[in-house]
Amino acid sequence: MDDLLELLRAGLPADALITDPDITASYSHDMASFCEAGAPAVVALPRTVEQVQHVMRTATALRVPVVPQGARTGLSGAANATDGCVVLSLVKMDRILEISPADRIAVVEPGVINAALSRAVGEHGLFYPPDPSSWEMCTIGGNIGTASGGLCCVKYGVTAEYVLGLDVVLADGRLLTTGHRTAKGVAGYDLTRLFVGSEGSLGIVVKAVLALKPQPPRQLVLAAEFPGAAAACDAVCRIMESGHTPSLLELMDRTTVQAVNRMAHMGLPETTEALLLAAFDTPDPSADLAAVGELCTAAGATAVVPAEDTAESEMLLQARRMSLTALETVKPATMIDDVCVPRSRLGAMLEGTAEIAEKYGLTIGVCAHAGDGNTHPVVCFDPADADESRRARESFDAIMALGLGLGGTITGEHGVGVLKKEWLARELGDVSVELHRGIKQAFDPLGLLNPGKVF
């Protein structure tokens, strides 16, 4: 421990190291509930690539585990500390190094806040689509580590699709450059994509070249009320089958709508079993919303309400964005699931989830990126109630099993971390797990990077 601090201090300024246990403890975990978290030996907050390299060289020399962190807004415990580790927080490396409208790229350090990048590129008429709910807080480095999604994905895809190239400090401190700053490039294996979603287990991202899009027109939102989840999911399929490309296609169940109303007095319709939000950022969004409204009605919507203007649209988006937070007020604790199924199986997923809630005697609110088949069932429970806690955990697992059975995945966008590491092998299978271990071995032979998580 003394060796560790002494060596770290040799290459880092004093204010880049935190050893006060009261403060380091606050770096021990991300926003996931009920995930184990250890006590870090030290928190390092480097400002340069060389400082990151120094941390990794030190960790390698002393065989000390390193847990990389962004803003710790993750929902799977992937950023949770292990006992005696170096927490490597990248939040001080927060410079936007370049924005090029001609090349439609931005070059950023990992600590840049998602919303800060969005605003900065917006000033150039550009658009960085990935928009996880935590976008006002989360970092681009964290987004890359967890392969974050958001509301935009149904039209614009996930973080992975915007990462063109990376600078990565490897476990032994060497610097690797991957990918390219060109629109296309196929020289060698796709190492860039291998790092995206690897949850800090293969290397430390210290720079990223990101692809940008031109800024679209502001989106207009429609709200449609359905008498049940099946009808709402039928509408989702009709919309996508008809060739529409909404910029957002979201679903909130009654539990979620009520929770949002209770928290923010939104005046959302509480009688609906499922509220579907669809948006378009096309040149003529009203026409697209009218067409989608008809499809909703045909699928059984009891009311279809297009927003009058962007202010009303923004209010509906706010309602959706606060869903997880609102559901957290239903009971003292929640477990947030993240199962993604093929869009055509979304109805079965929601019905199955309702059956699980009933079987286990729990409230499970569901909001979903419906256009992507990505559901967030939120299991609400009281941790002081041992039996309810057990049922919560079991229902959480039952939801993942349901998703896998429907041809889905245990995680659409939140990642594996500590929360789902037992389930990862079930989804991947033995052959895949063996190859994952081989890749981990090639990048981090001493197993120092974020141990006890994905791989």
Which residues in 228-267 contact its own copies (CB under 8 A)?
237, 240-241, 243-245
Show the site string, 91-130: x = touches its own copies by CB under 8 A, - = not.
---------xxxxxx-------------------x-----
Tokens for 81? 């500390």
Instruction: Please report how close the Cβ of residue 187 comes to its own copies at its closest, in angstroms.
Output: 5
Nearest to 74 by CA among 5, 159, 10: 159
Instruction: Please report how close the Cβ of residue 410 comes to its own copies at its closest, in angstroms.
Output: 6
Which one of residues 64, 67, 196, 205 is an interface residue with its own copies (CB under 8 A)?
Answer: 196
Show the site string, 345-384: x = touches its own copies by CB under 8 A, - = not.
------------------------x-xxxx----------
Q: Give the start-end residues of each E strand in 53-203.
A: 66-69, 86-89, 96-100, 105-108, 126-127, 163-169, 175-179
Cβ proximity to its own copies, 21 vs 438, nearer residue:
438
Cβ proximity to its own copies, 253 vs 288, nearer residue:
288
Cβ proximity to its own copies, 235 vs 362, nearer residue:
235
Which one of residues 160, 263, 266, 354 is an interface residue with its own copies (CB under 8 A)?
Answer: 160
Q: Which of residues 279-338 bind its own copies (CB under 8 A)?
A: 283-284
Q: Which residues contact 438 (CB under 8 A, 6 or more apart)?
A: none
Q: Please state, in angstroms and rounded to a whole number, the distance separating the CA atoms of residues 100 and 121.
A: 9
277 scored as a contact of its own copies (CB under 8 A): no
Total residues at interface with its own copies (CB under 8 A): 87
161 scored as a contact of its own copies (CB under 8 A): yes
Residue type at 131 in one-letter notation: D
Helix axes 310-321, 254-264, angle to 10 degrees: 110
Q: Which of residues 389-408 bind its own copies (CB under 8 A)?
A: 407-408
Q: Which of residues 24-83 bind its own copies (CB under 8 A)?
A: none
119-149 burial by CB neighbour count: b if 16+ within 10 A, else e? Answer: ebbeeeebbbbbbbbbbebbbbbbbbbbbbb
Q: Which residues contact 422 (CB under 8 A, 6 or more apart)?
A: none
188 scored as a contact of its own copies (CB under 8 A): yes
Instruction: Please report how close the Cβ of residue 441 comes to its own copies at its closest, in angstroms.
Output: 7
Cβ proximity to its own copies, 266 vs 439, nearer residue:
439
Cβ proximity to its own copies, 94 vs 294, nearer residue:
294
H helices of 322-385, in order, are 323-327, 346-360
Q: Please state, in angstroms and rounded to a whole number, the distance separating the CA atoms of residues 426 and 297.
A: 40
Interface region with its own copies, contact rule CB under 8 A, candidates 30-38, 87-95, 260-268, 415-423: 415-423
Nearest to 90 by CA among 118, 52, 56, 144: 52
Instruction: Please report how close the Cβ of residue 104 comes to its own copies at its closest, in angstroms.
Output: 6
342 scored as a contact of its own copies (CB under 8 A): yes
Task: Count how many residues are written for the chain.
Answer: 455
Instruction: Please report how close the Cβ of residue 387 comes to its own copies at its closest, in angstroms.
Output: 30
Which one of residues 61, 97, 183, 290 is an interface residue with its own copies (CB under 8 A)?
Answer: 183
Q: Please state, in angstroms and rounded to a whole number, the distance separating the CA atoms of residues 398 and 264.
A: 31
Q: Which of residues 123-152 bind its own copies (CB under 8 A)?
A: 125, 146-147, 149
Q: Which residues contact 152 (CB under 8 A, 6 or more apart)?
A: 129, 130, 131, 247, 248
447 scored as a contact of its own copies (CB under 8 A): no
Instruction: Please report how close the Cβ of residue 192 comes to its own copies at its closest, in angstroms.
Output: 9
Instruction: Please report how close the Cβ of residue 440 comes to its own copies at its closest, in angstroms.
Output: 8
Q: Please state, in angstroms and rounded to a whole number, the distance separating the CA atoms of residues 205 and 208.
A: 7
Cβ proximity to its own copies, 131 vs 372, nearer residue:
372
Which one of residues 205, 324, 410, 418 is an interface residue with its own copies (CB under 8 A)?
Answer: 410
Nearest to 90 by CA among 229, 228, 200, 240: 200
Which one of residues 197, 228, 377, 452 is an interface residue with its own copies (CB under 8 A)?
Answer: 197
H or E element: which one contains 82? none
Q: Please state, in angstroms and rounded to a whole number, the distance separating the CA atoms of residues 122 and 145.
A: 24
450 scored as a contact of its own copies (CB under 8 A): no
